[in-house]
Amino acid sequence: MDPDLPQTIDAYLERIGADRPARPDAPALRELQLRHLVAVPFENLSIHLGEDIVLEEGALLDKIVARRRGGFCYELNGAFAVLLRALGFRVTLLQARVHGDGGRLGIPYDHLVLRVETDDGSGPWLADVGFGDHARRPLALDDRAGRADPGGTFRIVPAPDGEESGDLDVLCDGKPRLRLEMRPRVLADFRAGAWYHRTSPDSHFTRAPVCSRCTDDGRITLTGRTLLTTVGTERHETPLGSDEEVLAAYREHFGVRLDRLPAKSDLR
């Protein structure tokens, strides 16, 4: 074990404003996921800043804990897995594909999610801090009933070929959102998916910089030069003029300190 890991885990908990849980149970998992979603932004800024994205545990912890940045799914859920394991949870990485327009599935390794086992006999749980606007609470993988969440009503059901493959579909408000493959994976398996999403013109991540996080009563998102605040069903857009205003918004709303704007897009 990395001799610095205990101190890093303490710093990680401080980063998300969470206490070390007394035991790795379901209430602790719910608290950790919510605090992570509120504190650590979903962002693709490295792509637009020309920064490397390294899918290794040490690099992910450095980015999220030491540099106090966010990331996209591979980074956020990869780091969250390290935190959970260090706290006594049993964690398995799973690959998922996102249902796009018309129900078309994304590429293999499109998304990384976590299967988490707790010591209280509940679950197993689907934990996800890397999908943007999604479920705020972990979802019970074996529960086929719909569960209300601030992000919508979620239900997990067998995929159309689930009897043969074992795959599961995650529905939100009745619409398919993710297809989960239940085979255990390792972080290195997701490198090709991360490479695609950081380089392909067909990936929505390469089209514009975005930085977004949950708030207690909604969500706040900065894309290009527009700051979008959502409270319940109310949306408020604030255009930002100068570069200094945009950089200040990254600092104020997301704790992200940049010395230059993301440049690989048309900021508008």
CA distance 143 to 120: 16
Structural domain harbouring 119: 5-190
Looking at the chain, the whole-number percentage of residues with pLDDT higher than 90 is 87
Q: How confident is the model at residue 129 (pLDDT cuts 50, 70, 90)?
A: very high
Residue 252 located in a structural domain: no
pLDDT per position as a tens digit, 133-162: 889 999 999 999 989 998 899 999 999 976
CA distances (Å), 119 to each of 6, 75, 79, 123, in order? 21, 26, 21, 10
Domain count, the chain: 1
Report if residue 181 sits inside a domain. Answer: yes
- C-alpha pair distances (Å), 82 with each of 159, 204, 266: 29, 27, 35
pLDDT over 90 at 3, yes or no: no
pLDDT tier, 56 (very low <50, low <70, confident <90, very high otherwise): very high
Please give the torsion angle defined by the CA atoms of residues 203, 253, 4 and 92, in that order, rounded to the nearest 10 degrees.
Answer: -40
In a domain, 23, yes or no: yes
Cβ 231 vs Cβ 218: under 8 Å: yes
Q: Is residue 267 part of a domain?
A: no
Is 204 inside any structural domain? no
Q: Is the dihedral of CA 9, 15, 20, 23 positive or negative?
A: negative
Please, are residues 235 and 220 in contact by the beta-carbon 8 Å criterion? Answer: no
Whether 265 is in a domain gets the answer no
d(CA 266, CA 248): 19
Of residues 170 and 3, the one with the higher pLDDT is 170
pLDDT per residue over 107-122, tens digit each?
A: 999 999 999 999 999 9
Supply the pLDDT for residue 246: 96
**238-247 average pLDDT score:** 95
**Domain for residue 195, yes or no?**
no
139-140/168-172 β-pairing: unpaired
- Residue from 137, 167, 166 nearest 154 by CA: 137
- pLDDT at position 1 is 56
Rounded to an integer, what distance in angstroms lies between the CA atom of residue 221 and that of residue 227? 6
Type of residue numbered 253: H
Mean pLDDT in the chain?
A: 93
Confidence band, pLDDT 50/70/90 cuts, at residue 255:
very high
Q: Evaluate whether residue 96 is within a structural domain.
A: yes
Q: Residue 75 sits in a domain of what CATH number?
A: 3.30.2140.20
